[in-house]
Amino acid sequence: HSEKTMLDSLILKKVENYVLELFAKKSLAENIFHSISHTKEVVDVADKIGTTEGLAMADMEIILIACWFHDTGHFHCCHGHEDQSSEYARSYLENESYPEENIKKIIGCINATRIPQIPKNKLEEIVCDADLHHLGQINIEERGKILRQEFELRGVKTLSDIEWLRTSIEFFKNHRFFTEYARREYGLQKNVNQQILEKMLENLINRQGRKTD
């Protein structure tokens, strides 16, 4: 569509370049999980969900901009990074004279990714599902390792193997996908992943039990 290419070439392209540059300049080496590749993946998934949900272009623009910015706050902090991400989005978009009502929607989407996720509308639901789509991907152990390493490198928290698995399982149990697309595409694998983690925990507890016997 001609409408799409016009939008793509304008603000979305600019946001993409700006965020790529931000990551290049500011992202910490320790951010091995919350990296630019995670951000790109989230943008791609949001694009897929939005397209499947038949979103209007204006709404597509909102969710994709939100996804580009959603983790920029990780340059500074982990806890409450959504506020910082919103700041980046707001100052950049105001500078581009982007409409205030759309900036508000974008910030709503970024804030909705805060855990526990409580999205208030369809756009926020899509961004939330895109952000946590990896819960329903096949390489869950690998991704978990990377996230855990990032936490440790940044001094957020160091957990024992058992604590880490318990925390992860708790996270899985408290999470749900909101869109039809995410439930269909990631729901089944997410359940499998939760079972894998539960099995790992059980094995670990049994092993440790044997050690103390």
- List pLDDT tens digits, range 12-70: 999 999 999 988 887 777 776 677 888 999 999 999 999 999 999 999 999 999 999 99
pTM above 0.95, yes or no: no
H or E element that contains 19: helix 13-26
Residue 7 has pLDDT above 70, yes or no: no
Residues 172, 190: contact at Cβ < 8 Å?
A: yes
Compute the distance between CA of residue 187 and CA of residue 180 in angstroms, rounded to an integer.
Answer: 10
Q: By CB neighbour count within 10 A (0-12 exposed, 13-18 middle, 19+ buried), where does 67 fall?
A: buried
Give the residue with greater pLDDT, 58 vs 83. Answer: 58
